[in-house]
Amino acid sequence: RTFSSQAEPIRVLVTGAAGQIAYSLLYSIAKGDVFGKDQPIILVLLDIPPMLPVVDGVVMELQDCALPLLREVIPTADEAVGFKDLDAAILVGSMPRREGMERKDLLKANVAIFKAQGGALEKYAKKTVKVLVVGNPANTNCLIAAKSAPSIPKENFSCLTRLDHNRASSQVAMRCGVSSDSVKNVIIWGNHSSTQYPDVHHAKVNVNGAEMGAYDAVKDDAWLHGDFISTVQLRGAAVIKARKLSSAMSAAKAICDHMRDIWFGTKEGEFISMGVYAAGNSYGIAEDLIYSFPIQIKNKTWKIVDGLSINDFSRAKMDATAAELVEERDTALDFLSQ
């Protein structure tokens, strides 16, 4: 057999493979948009046993895409197969929130899943595996998975707040009448929930070739402190109300952005948002939480951007979302000890 790329394939797991996010995500991964145009891929698709017939349909479609980088697709409901020798794990599978449901309602069902999958990572995956948790409540699920895989560095775990980050960039871009790539360095602090704090104090907007702070570009502090924040905080619920399903296309796009940045690094002078392990030494946020910070990535290693000035308005919002995460963590640990 001959292949267009001779590189060793990497093994990438997507859980919830029969679901709607996976359906929007798998094509981009398999065609090289995330791990590179020369990187062959073995895709492992995990879902629960009753969904395997649906996963088989997804496998057929991936085959029918005739993508040269896709070496193999492995459908499974068996954790020993699904988590074996992984280079990357994208943990999407969980029970999604329906209209009217609070994210906390999901906590009990979902932390049990992420405890089991953390255990499977510990047992079967490479110790270098990069794990991205998407299933909600994403931050707390990620913390539970990391705690359940003690021999894998906590730094290898992150959760998705890039969708919120992209939502915030896009809102500012639309308000200024510029393209979304003219906005950089927005920050999502904290939880992927309605307490998150979308912060543009350090964001830059390129307006007709002139780079300026977001407050100068928008020229409407009341909007930035009011509707802008609540629109981003409540966007997930608004999409659910409209679609009767949670966001999928935009979530898949954000997953690609997040993983591509882990693999290839962030752009010089720019930062993005992701939920990472808080060690208790950044911006006064308590340790042992997965908290979304401004992040730069180089050589597959992230660091929190230090030293940004924080005013009282921001401080209060950063602390409120941290408090929610502490409560979520303690509730999750209670559930798991019962």
The reply to whether 96 sits near ligand LMR by the rule CB under 6 A is yes
Among residues 16, 32, 190, 294, the one that binds ligand NAD under rule CB under 6 A? 16
The reply to whether 94 sits near ligand NAD by the rule CB under 6 A is yes
DSSP-assigned states of every residue in 131-186 = EEE-SSSHHHHHHHHHHT-TTS-GGGEEE--HHHHHHHHHHHHHHHTS-GGGEE--
The reply to whether 163 sits near ligand LMR by the rule CB under 6 A is yes
User: In this complex, which beta carbon is closest to ligand LMR, that of residue 97 or of residue 253?
Assistant: 97
Among 35-43, 45-53, 239-247, 289-297, which window interacts with ligand LMR (CB under 6 A)? 239-247
User: In this complex, which beta carbon is closest to ligand LMR, that of residue 136 or of residue 169?
Assistant: 136
Q: Who contacts 323 (Cβ-Cβ below 8 Å, separation ≥6)?
A: none
Give residue 287's Cα distance to chain centre.
20
Is 39 exposed, middle or buried, given 0-12, 13-18 or 19+ CB atoms closer than 10 A?
Answer: middle
User: In this complex, which beta carbon is closest to ligand LMR, that of residue 87 or of residue 199?
Assistant: 199
The reply to whether 246 sits near ligand NAD by the rule CB under 6 A is yes
Q: How far is the CB of 51 from ligand NAD (least distance, A)?
A: 4
Among residues 29, 52, 121, 138, the one that binds ligand NAD under rule CB under 6 A? 138
What are the distances in angstroms from CA 26 to CA 17, 75, 126, 219? 9, 13, 22, 40
The reply to whether 18 sits near ligand NAD by the rule CB under 6 A is yes
Handedness of CA 12, 46, 137, 194 (dihedral sign): positive
Tell me the C-alpha distance between 138 and 120, whole Å.
18
Q: How far is the CB of 134 from ligand NAD (least distance, A)?
A: 5
User: In this complex, which beta carbon is closest to ligand LMR, that of residue 95 or of residue 320?
Assistant: 95
Handedness of CA 301, 307, 308, 311 (dihedral sign): positive
Is there a catalytic annotation at residue 202? no
The reply to whether 10 sits near ligand LMR by the rule CB under 6 A is no
The reply to whether 239 sits near ligand LMR by the rule CB under 6 A is yes
Q: How far is the CB of 309 from ligand NAD (least distance, A)?
A: 28
What are the distances in angstroms from CA 313 to CA 48, 191, 193, 198, 280? 44, 17, 19, 12, 21
Of 147-176, binders to ligand NAD (CB under 6 A) are 160, 163
The reply to whether 139 sits near ligand NAD by the rule CB under 6 A is no
In one letter, which amino acid is 142? C
Set 192, 202, 225, 258: catalytic member: 192
Tell me the C-alpha distance between 163 and 43, whole Å.
23
Tell me the C-alpha distance between 293 and 93, whole Å.
24
DSSP-assigned states of every residue in 13-53 = EEESTTSHHHHHHHHHHHTTTTT-TT--EEEEEE--GGGHH
Q: Who contacts 126 (Cβ-Cβ below 8 Å, separation ≥6)?
A: 85, 86, 87
The reply to whether 97 sits near ligand LMR by the rule CB under 6 A is yes
User: In this complex, which beta carbon is closest to ligand LMR, that of residue 180 or of residue 281?
Assistant: 180
Among 121-129, 240-248, 307-315, 321-329, which window interacts with ligand NAD (CB under 6 A)? 240-248
Of 184-213, binders to ligand NAD (CB under 6 A) are 192
Q: How far is the CB of 207 from ligand LMR (least distance, A)?
A: 28
Is 335 exposed, middle or buried, given 0-12, 13-18 or 19+ CB atoms closer than 10 A?
Answer: middle
In one letter, which amino acid is 147? K
Of 121-150, binders to ligand LMR (CB under 6 A) are 136
Binding site for ligand LMR (CB under 6 A): 96-97, 103, 136, 163, 236, 239, 246-247
Q: Which residues of this protein are in contact with ligand NAD, per CB under 6 A?
A: 15-16, 18-21, 46-48, 51, 92-94, 96-97, 113, 134-136, 138, 160, 163, 192, 246-248, 251
Active-site residue set: 192
